[in-house]
Homo-oligomer: A and B are copies of this chain.
Amino acid sequence: MKIRVGIVGVTGYTGGELLRLLLNHPQAEVKKATSRSNAGNDVTLVHPNLKGEISLIEDEFEIDSFVKDIDLVFLALPHGKSAPLAREIYDRDVKIIDLGADFRIKDAEAYKLWYELEHACPELLEESVYGLPEIHKDEIQKAMIVANPGCYPTSIILALAPLLANKVISRENIIADSKSGVSGAGKTLTDTSHFANINENLHAYKVGNHRHIGEIEQELSLLGQSQLLINFTPHLVPMNRGILSSVYAIPVVKLRQKELDELYHEFYKDCPFIRLRDKDSLPQTKWVQGSNYCDIAPILDERTGRIIVFSAIDNLVKGASGQAIQNMNIMFGLDETTGLKLAGMYP
C-alpha cells in the first residue's frame, strides 16, 4: 500500500516541488493538500507546471478531517506556524516532516535567540530528529517528527561532516561563504526579489546574523563533539535554483589530497546522494539542478595549507523537498532513493 501523504502549505516553492517529486514516487500518493491563501483553488493555478498531472482541490483545513487516513503530513509553513500545528498532528499519532524551521534547533532558548519567538511546544523538541539522513539516518527511522534541514545548513554540514567527525580540522576559523539562487528566499515579493534588482547583480546579505547559523553550529558542534562558532556569509546570485558553499578550514593534522579524498569516500560510502568530485570537476550547481544530489569536492591548497570544500545542491530538492522525501522513505522503511533517482536537468 502506498504512503498516504498530506501537505500543509502547498502553494510555496517547496510545496510545489514536493508535488512534482511525489508525482514520480511509486510508493507515495498525495491525498490532501491545503493552503490558506488559495483555499478551494485548483493547485495548478498556483503551480501551472503541474497542469495535467494533478487536479487536487485544496480544502478548508480542519485537523481531524485532514489527518484521517493520512500516514504522514509535510508541513511547508513559515517558522512559528509549524510548531502549534505539529503538536496537534502529533497528538493524533500521525508522522510529521516539517520543512520549516521550528524543530531544527533542539534548544528552545537558542530557537528564541535566532527566531525571536517563544517556541510553541518545546516539549516536542526532543522527540524531533534533525533530518539530515547522511548524519542521522538511524534516528530518522524511528522518528515521529523530522525537522527537515535548511538549505544552506544542508550544503555546509555535508561539506564539513567528514572533517569534524574525523577531528582533522581546527574548530576555529571555519568560514562558510555560500551563494544561493533566488528561489531559496521564497515567493514573497520584495525589492530584493524584483527581477531588475537580481539580474546582473550580486551581493551578500545578513552577514553574521542569518538564522541558519543556529542549526549549522548545533550540528557541527555535535559532529566535532565540542561547541564551535562559524562565519557564515550568504550571497544572492542571479539564478533560480542552486546553492554553492565554499567552506574554509584549517587542518590540525598532516594530510595529503589523496588522504583527504579517502576520508570523504569512507565517510559517505553508504550515501547514495553524495557524489564526490575533485579539482578537475569542481561542483557546479547546474549539475545537481532538479536532483537530490549533493556534489562535494574537498580540496587541499598545498601552498597555504588550507582545506577548501565546495558543495553544491539544488536548494529546493536536496535543500528542501527532495530531502524531505528521502526522510519519508527512511521513516517508512523504503530504500532512501525511491522516487528520487531523477537525474538533474542539464543544461
Contacts and interface: CB of A to CB of B under 8 A. Distances in A.
B20 A346 contact: yes
A258 to B, nearest CB: 17
B279 A207 contact: yes
Given A202-B242, A248-B175, A303 B208 contact: yes
Given A48-B281, A173-B173, A196 B229 contact: no
B177 A207 contact: no
Nearest to A299: B207
A182 interface: yes
Given A208-B308, A244-B202, A244-B203, A52 B179 contact: no
B347 A197 contact: yes
Interface in A10-63: 13, 16, 19-20, 23-24, 47-53
A288 interface: yes
A346 B16 CA distance: 8
A345 B203 contact: no
Contacts of A193: 189, 194-196
A269 to B, nearest CB: 13
A235 interface: yes
Contacts of A293: 51-52
A256 interface: no
Contact of A284 (B195, B202, B287, B306): B202
A274 to B, nearest CB: 9
A346 B52 contact: no
A78 interface: no
16 contacts: A13-B347, A48-B287, A49-B287, A49-B344, A52-B272, A175-B248, A179-B202, A182-B195, A189-B190, A195-B197, A199-B238, A201-B284, A202-B239, A203-B285, A289-B345, A290-B290
